[in-house]
Structure 1
Amino acid sequence: MRIAFFVNSIEDETPTFTTTSLAMAALSRGHDICYLTPGDFVLRADDSLSVRGRVLPGKRYKKAESFHAALQGDEATVETMDIGEVDVLFLRNDPSLDADGRPWAAHVGAMFGRLAAARGTLVVNDPDGLSLAQNKLYFQGFPQAVRPRTLISKSIDEIRGFIDLHKEGVIMKPLQGSGGRNVFKIGSTGEANLNQIFEAVSGEGYLIAQNYLAAATEGDIRLFLMNGRPLEKDGTYAAIRRVPAKGEVRSNIHAAGTAVKVEITPEILAIAEMVRPKLVEDGMFLVGLDIVGDKILEINVFTPGGLSVMLDLYGVDFSENIIVALESKVAQRDAYDGAIANRILAAL
């Protein structure tokens, strides 16, 4: 089968990205792959949908660096193909990265993903589900038992009132965004720079204020879910603990956080089970939960990362499991001659 990976840009891809791991796993299992970016869709006058994909030759790469060099170099070619030639469209872009510089590109994946699904291509995560998750407000649709106390507002007075109610402090961040950008811990309304922080964050739109969780000093746990259930291979869960750098409240690897092994307890599995029904209903095939204590801070449904780090820590390659799951979905799609809706098949 052919898998198309939709990303923000080819130039920004790296050997350590999870998309790289997935693409290499697909090649190793004998599949064709290509990469798409926001400008690569063409809807023609006859209502046919084509894509301009960056195609790599069907060979196996032993090292991620070699794969990355081939993707960026002359070994890759650009081919125009009908979307019917693509079995799986894997949406792996981060809309927040395009929100400021080229807002037209932010939601192209979901927009054209719907058209691709209507023409029989399996699209994961489901584009309609992703449209619901275009900002962190999506998180409020999950059970309150797994969420921190949260305020969403653009009012400094509302923010101040929320801070006064939480003596342990609050975390403030933009409603839209990722990668730990503009995330601040506020201890009290007496902090001298509160107004400056508010102005900086509110400039991006609505703000989220959440009660600070003391367990955050130990970092958060990134746990992968596939088809709504924890991703597991040979008794090892696809999970890491991300420990923040000294003086940081963010544990993101991009923000100098450190990844270490983590034991997945029955309590963590219970948290994952709590969010499973909605993720399945929304067609979320591959998801990353960020867990602190007994709460989930975020649910990453666009570009959950960390598979290469997990391979280094545990010696377990979870990417192959993900590709095998896609093979099964394509087989089910073909067996039912497209009668199963994409949203159901995506998380089946």
Structure 2
Amino acid sequence: MRIAFFVNSIEGEATYYTTTSLALAALSRGHEVCYVTPGDFVLRPDDSLLIRATTLNGSKPKKPETLLSSLKEASVTTMDIREVQVLFLRNDPSEDADRRSWAVYAGTNFGRLAAARGVIVVNDPDGLALAQNKLYFQGFPEVVRPTTMISRSIEEIRSFIEDHPDGVILKPLQGSGGKNVFKIQSKDEANLNQIFEAASGAGYLIAQTYLPDAVGGDIRLFVMNGRPLERDGIHAAFRRVPAKGDVRSNLHASGTAEPATVTPEILAIADKLRPKLIEDGMFLVGLDIVGDRILEANVFTPGGLPEIEAAHGIDFGEDIIAALEEKVRLQQLYQGALHNRTLATL
């Protein structure tokens, strides 16, 4: 099969990205791989949908560095979207929100058109359209979420902080990578106005109760087809530990990765999220968990597969590609009768 990975940009890809691991796993299993970016779709007057795909031209790199070098030298091939069996949406919309607002919805919009033409698109583009910001998080059961308020009013936020003396985490509603995430201890904090101004520049703010267990970091758990991803009793999970004096555990914000113990309590949290993830066609999701609460559900670009492989010696990318192979088999078996959202989590 041919898999197209939809990313923000070719030059922005990195050796430590999970997308790179997935592409290598696909190549090792004998599949063709190409990359597509927000500006690479063409809808012609005859209603045919084409992609200008960066294609490896038969090369089969086995290392991340070689793959990225090959991508930079690869040619761009224009092909009908029907020549692709799977379109894997792996972009981060928040990266494009400021400088390329036109690119934010390209994946979901053209993903819908691709699915209508028989391409398996994961995660399901209609589901992803519901998750363009952290409001999506509010759709999960209250029992697994920290107490949360969303507002642009500093008076409302001050009141929320006053009601939660253990502290509050303040962050943008639209954002990722730990950017503009702050811990506020008191409504009288001297620089609260400056923090509010910095964090609210992108729009609404989320205020959440601070979870004391977060001092030790959070656990990123991969969920595939609605269930925790595991092989031979080892779960695809790792602990993200924040740098000293930092509340953010994001690896892009100086956090570090350590092996994680996945407890029955953590699995119970994932179990409570399963119905919505399946309903929304979320094939691959990264859950960030602290104690008995989920901090975030990353449905666009969950990362960490290289860190998990380093810790456990298991390349879970192979399991993910194998699951896509099964979806292609089922699609062929049912001759296109299954809806994309159904196929996404089968």
TM category (shorter chain) comes to over 0.9
Percent of paired sites with the same residue: 69
Which amino acid in structure 1 is aligned with residue 11 of structure 2?
Answer: E
1:277-326 CA distance string (max 9 Å, x none) = 00000000000000011100000000000001111111110000000000
> What does residue range 308-347 of structure 1 map to in structure 2 within 5 Å?
308-347=306-345
> What does residue range 124-203 of structure 1 map to in structure 2 within 5 Å?
124-203=122-201
> What does residue range 35-46 of structure 1 map to in structure 2 within 5 Å?
35-46=35-46
What is the alpha-carbon distance in structure 2 between the residues aligned to residue 57 and residue 278 of structure 1? 39
**Which one of the candidate residues 81, 102, 113 is aligned to 1:83?**
81
RMSD (Å), alpha carbons: 0.7
What is the alpha-carbon distance in structure 2 between the residues aligned to residue 190 and residue 282 of structure 1? 41
**Contact kept in structure 2, 1:240 and 1:310, CA below 8 Å:** yes
Cα displacement (A) at 1:213: 0.2
Alignment length (residue pairs): 346
* SS across alignment from 1:259: strand
**Which one of the candidate residues 77, 96, 99 is aligned to 1:98?**
96
* TM-score normalised according to structure 2 size: 0.99
* SS across alignment from 1:16: coil
Cα displacement (A) at 1:61: 2.4
> What does residue range 1-348 of structure 1 map to in structure 2 within 5 Å?
1-72=1-72, 74=73, 76-348=74-346
What is the alpha-carbon distance in structure 1 between the residues aligned to residue 244 and residue 281 of structure 2? 38
Cα displacement (A) at 1:91: 0.2
**Contact kept in structure 2, 1:54 and 1:79, CA below 8 Å:** yes
Between 59-68 and 91-100, the greater mean CA deviation after superposition: 59-68
Cα displacement (A) at 1:58: 3.2
**Contact kept in structure 2, 1:4 and 1:33, CA below 8 Å:** yes
Which amino acid in structure 1 is aligned with residue 293 of structure 2?
Answer: K
* SS across alignment from 2:159: helix
Cα displacement (A) at 1:119: 0.3
**Contact kept in structure 1, 2:28 and 2:62, CA below 8 Å:** no
**Contact kept in structure 1, 2:50 and 2:80, CA below 8 Å:** yes
* SS across alignment from 1:171: strand
* TM-score normalised according to structure 1 size: 0.99
**Contact kept in structure 2, 1:28 and 1:59, CA below 8 Å:** no
What is the alpha-carbon distance in structure 1 between the residues aligned to residue 337 and residue 63 of structure 2? 39
1:218-260 CA distance string (max 9 Å, x none) = 0000000000100101221000000000010000000110100
After the TM superposition, which segments of 4 or more aligned residues of structure 1 sit over 6 Å from their partners? Answer: none
- Unpaired stretches in structure 2, ≥5 consecutive residues: none
**Contact kept in structure 2, 1:31 and 1:58, CA below 8 Å:** no
Cα displacement (A) at 1:202: 1.3
What is the alpha-carbon distance in structure 2 between the residues aligned to residue 189 and residue 165 of structure 1? 9
What is the alpha-carbon distance in structure 2 between the residues aligned to residue 158 and residue 64 of structure 1? 47
What is the alpha-carbon distance in structure 2 between the residues aligned to residue 58 and residue 92 of structure 1? 22
- Pair 234,59 (structure 1): closer, same or farther in 2 beyond 3 Å: farther
What is the alpha-carbon distance in structure 1 between the residues aligned to residue 278 and residue 330 of structure 2? 17
Which amino acid in structure 2 is aligned with residue 323 of structure 1?
Answer: I
- Unpaired stretches in structure 1, ≥5 consecutive residues: none
What is the alpha-carbon distance in structure 2 between the residues aligned to residue 60 and residue 270 of structure 1? 40
**Contact kept in structure 2, 1:289 and 1:298, CA below 8 Å:** yes
1:118-161 CA distance string (max 9 Å, x none) = 00000000000000000000000000000000000011110000
1:104-125 CA distance string (max 9 Å, x none) = 0011000000000000000000
Cα displacement (A) at 1:175: 0.3
* SS across alignment from 2:180: coil
Which amino acid in structure 1 is aligned with residue 30 of structure 2?
Answer: G
* SS across alignment from 2:202: coil
* SS across alignment from 2:186: coil
Which amino acid in structure 2 is aligned with residue 61 of structure 1?
Answer: P
